[in-house]
A and B are shown apart, each in its own frame.
Chain A
Amino acid sequence: MTFSSSQKRKAAALISGGLDSMLAARVIMEQGIEVHGINFFTGFCVEGHTSAIRERHKIKHKRNNALWCAEQLGIPLHIIDISTEYKDIVLNPKHGYGQHMNPCLDCKIFMVGQASTCEYANEQGFDFIITGEVIGQRPKSQRREAMPMIARESGAEDKLLRPLCALNLEPTLPEREGWVDRSRLFGFHGRDRKPQIELAKHFGFKDYAQPAGGCCFLTDKHYSAKFRDLMRTRGKRDYELDDIMLLKVGRHMRPNTRFKLIIGREQGENKYLQGYQKRFLNLRTMSHEGPLALIDGVPNDSDIELAARIVARYSQGRTAAEVEIKATWPDARERAMRIVPLTPLEISDDWHV
C-alpha cells in the first residue's frame, strides 16, 4: 500500500520536552503526517516548574518544555494527568529501577500504552505512535533488547515507530504500509548527541532542552533520597501527589523519625509553600525576616521547639540572642515562641535529607 494524500495519516508523538522527541515529531511531520503531541504529567517530571518556583533561578528557562516544543513544532499538545495510575509504576516496577528511583522501562511501556488507548487517542484515531527513543541512548530503557519489549508490553506492537533509530529496527506498520518513507528515517544509536544536534541544526532549532535525566526527578540522586526517606519514615510504600510535589521544594531536614521540616530557601519557595500552610503545622519567623517552614509528621512539644530553633538558624536572626517564631496548626491554633537559634555546629549533617 502506498501513501495516498487523500488519506492523511495521523500520529501521536510522545513529547517529553527534550530534543529527541521534538526531532522525532518533526521528522514525521516532514512526511506530511498530521502529528499531535502527548505529554504525561506524572508528578515527577517538572524541572521547569521548579525553576519557576525559585526566584533565584532567573537565568533558567521558566517554561514547560513540552509546551514549548509543541509551540516550536506548531502542533497541538494534549497533557494527560497519569499521576494516580503512575503510582503503581513507581512503587512496583516490573522491570526494576535504574540508577536511582527511576523505573524508566516500565514508565516507557506505560506511556506508550496510554498513548495508544487513552481517551484522547480514541477521539483522534491515531494511526501510529512515535517516540524520540534512540537505541543505546539510555542504559536501561533504550537498550536494544528493550525496544521490542516496549512495543510488545505496551500493546502498541508494530504501530510504534522510532524515527530517529528506525533504520536499526525492523520496519513498523507505518513503514510497511508506505504511510512513512523509511528511507527518510534515521539510524542513530548510542550516547553520542552529535547526530541529533546536526539534525536540530538542519531543522533550524536553535534552542532546545537537553535534560540529563529525561525530564524526570526520579533520575535525580537527591530527589530519590528524599523520596526513599518519605516512604521509610511513613512505614509504607505509598505517597500522595502533594508529597512528591513538596519533595521538589525547600530544604528538607529530619532531626528524628517523628517529623520533617520543609524550609523555604527563598521568596519563590516561601510563596509556593504558602499554598500548603493550611494543611501543615507551619513555622514563621516574626521578629526577623525568615523562611516559611512546614512540619510534616507528628512532632511533640520539644520537637516543635527544636524545629523553631532550626528555622531561626535560617532566618535573618540567626546570630540574634533570641528570635520570635509563631507556630500555626491546620486548625488555626497558634503558639508564639521566643527561642535561641541553633548554631551551625548544632545542626547535624544527618538531619539533611
Chain B
Amino acid sequence: MPVIRAQELARSLAAGTLVELSATDPGVVHDVPAWCRVHGHDVISCKDQDDEYVIEFKIGAD
C-alpha cells in the first residue's frame, strides 16, 4: 500500500525533504494527499502519467 510506504519513509526523513512517490494504484491520488494533510506534509504535485501516478510532497516540520 503506497501510503504505508510513504509513512515509513517519512519517519526517517528530515523536514523539508522532497519525496517523489510513483504507483500504479489509483488510490494514491486520494490517499497520499489525505495522509499528507493529516501529518502536515505539503503536496507539491500530483500527476497522472502514462502508466502510473506520481506524487511529489515535502516533509513537514512535525
Contact = CB atoms under 8 A, between A and B. Distances in A.
B7 A79 contact: yes
B27 interface: yes
Contacts of B35: 64, 67, 77, 79
B7 A64 contact: no
A271 B24 contact: yes
A71 B30 contact: no
Given A68-B34, A71-B37, A271 B7 contact: no
Interface in A213-268: 268
B38 interface: yes
Which of A76, A80, A271 lies at the interface centre, i.e. has the most chain B CB atoms within 10 A of its CB?
A: A271
Interface stretch (A48-56, A107-115, A314-322): A48-56
A53 B27 contact: yes
Contacts, number: 61
Interface in B9-29: 24-27, 29
A274 B34 CA distance: 25
A80 B1 CA distance: 10
Contacts of A76: 38-39
A64 B34 CA distance: 8
B1 A78 contact: no
Given A64-B3, A67-B35, A71-B38, A271 B26 contact: yes
A70 to B, nearest CB: 5
Given A67-B3, A76-B39, A272-B24, 7 more contacts: A48-B30, A67-B38, A71-B37, A71-B38, A79-B1, A79-B7, A268-B26
16 contacts: A49-B27, A49-B31, A52-B30, A52-B31, A53-B27, A62-B27, A63-B31, A64-B31, A67-B38, A71-B34, A71-B37, A76-B39, A79-B1, A79-B4, A81-B1, A272-B24
Interface of B: 1, 3-4, 7, 24-27, 29-31, 34-35, 37-39, 51
